[in-house]
């Protein structure tokens, strides 16, 4: 039997921090199904009371869990009166930090996911544009300005990983497919050789690659296990030859691939 509990992520900002923070905790309780709801932008007393009503009127048998990231102390106080297990991020850690830093916190709503630093934010947006322009080898323009160049056979996860690196970390991530010519010559194409020091490789297991490719083009040479095996072996050979670090994306999420890539290419901070 699976237990179901209702969960609310509540915030006076976007709710993104509450969702991520709460999800990390809930992931440690596998026997439950969590029915998740996000209530964002609870920015005034009226909204706070409406939120409390919604929590109190949730139809579940047991009281809901509420993960709150509410900076405004008045709103937080109202929310905490809801009939729920109420946990607030700021309640938990701000006092500890205040005592460590020797100052009072200065609550400002929406800092975590707002445009806190305009120039840094502008760089992130420019990085997204860069990554879209340089998706799938579409452009060689400004390839030398890439922070990282993802290289892989088709369908190993280059595109979403590039988008993630630019969107979350402001890295100019280009991505480049390896194609038949490369597999046969066992070399990087000349345009990529120049930026080999920025390259990061992705592979997959032949079985995984076959499954993903079959969704797109079933029963084709492209999705045959022989072709997938050939491409992965050739790509691995190329990566080894140019000393390009690489990971198997088969069992890794894009977040994990991005995180490993930043570590191996020394792109953190």
- Residue placing its CB nearer to a copy of itself in the complex, 17 or 224: 17
Candidate residues 113, 141, 194, 217; the one interacting with a copy of itself per rule CB under 8 A: 113
- Residue placing its CB nearer to a copy of itself in the complex, 142 or 186: 142
Residues 54-73 that bind a copy of itself (CB under 8 A): 65, 69, 71
Candidate residues 21, 222, 230, 242; the one interacting with a copy of itself per rule CB under 8 A: 21
Q: Which residues contact 210 (CB under 8 A, 6 or more apart)?
A: 223, 224, 225, 228
Separation of alpha carbons 150 and 254, rounded Å: 12
Q: Is residue 20 part of the contact set for a copy of itself (CB under 8 A)?
A: yes
Candidate residues 1, 2, 27, 218; the one interacting with a copy of itself per rule CB under 8 A: 27
Walk across the sheet containing 246-248 and list its strands: 173-178, 148-153, 199-203, 246-248
CB neighbour class for 167 (10 Å; exposed up to 12, middle 13-18, buried from 19): middle
Residues 189-248 that bind a copy of itself (CB under 8 A): none
Strands (DSSP E) found in the chain = 3-11, 32-39, 65-69, 85-88, 148-153, 173-178, 199-203, 246-248
Separation of alpha carbons 23 and 69, rounded Å: 13
Q: Is residue 259 part of the contact set for a copy of itself (CB under 8 A)?
A: yes
Q: Is residue 135 part of the contact set for a copy of itself (CB under 8 A)?
A: yes
- Residue placing its CB nearer to a copy of itself in the complex, 36 or 187: 36
Q: Is residue 264 part of the contact set for a copy of itself (CB under 8 A)?
A: no
Candidate residues 87, 123, 140, 225; the one interacting with a copy of itself per rule CB under 8 A: 87
- Minimum CB distance to a copy of itself, residue 66 (Å): 11
Judge contact between 193 and 241, C-beta under 8 A: no
């Amino acid at each position: 039997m699976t237990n179901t509990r209702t969960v609310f992520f509540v915030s006076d900002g976007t709710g993104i921090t509450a969702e991520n923070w709460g999800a990390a905790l809930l992931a440690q309780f596998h026997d439950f199904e969590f029915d998740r709801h996000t209530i964002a932008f609870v920015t005034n007393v009226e909204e706070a009371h409406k939120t409390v009503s919604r929590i109190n009127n949730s139809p579940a048998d047991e009281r809901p869990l509420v993960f709150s990231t509410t900076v405004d102390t008045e709103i937080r106080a109202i929310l905490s009166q809801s009939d729920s297990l109420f946990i607030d991020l700021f309640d938990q850690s701000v006092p500890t930090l205040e005592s460590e830093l020797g100052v009072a916190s200065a609550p400002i709503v929406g800092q975590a996911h707002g445009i806190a630093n305009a120039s840094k934010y502008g760089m992130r947006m420019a990085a997204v544009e860069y990554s879209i322009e340089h998706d799938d080898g579409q452009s060689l323009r400004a390839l030398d300005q890439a922070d990282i160049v993802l290289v892989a056979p088709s369908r190993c996860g280059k595109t979403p990983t590039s988008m993630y690196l630019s969107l979350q970390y402001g890295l100019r991530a280009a991505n480049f497919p390896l194609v038949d010519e490369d597999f046969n010559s066992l070399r990087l194409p000349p345009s990529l050789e120049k930026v080999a020091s920025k390259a990061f490789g992705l592979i997959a297991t032949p079985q995984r690659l076959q499954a993903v490719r079959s969704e797109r083009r079933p029963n084709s040479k492209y999705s045959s296990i022989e072709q997938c095996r050939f491409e992965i072996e050739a790509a691995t050979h190329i990566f080894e030859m140019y000393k390009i670090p690489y990971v198997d994306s088969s069992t890794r999420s894009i977040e994990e691939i991005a995180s490993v890539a930043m570590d191996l290419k020394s792109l953190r901070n």
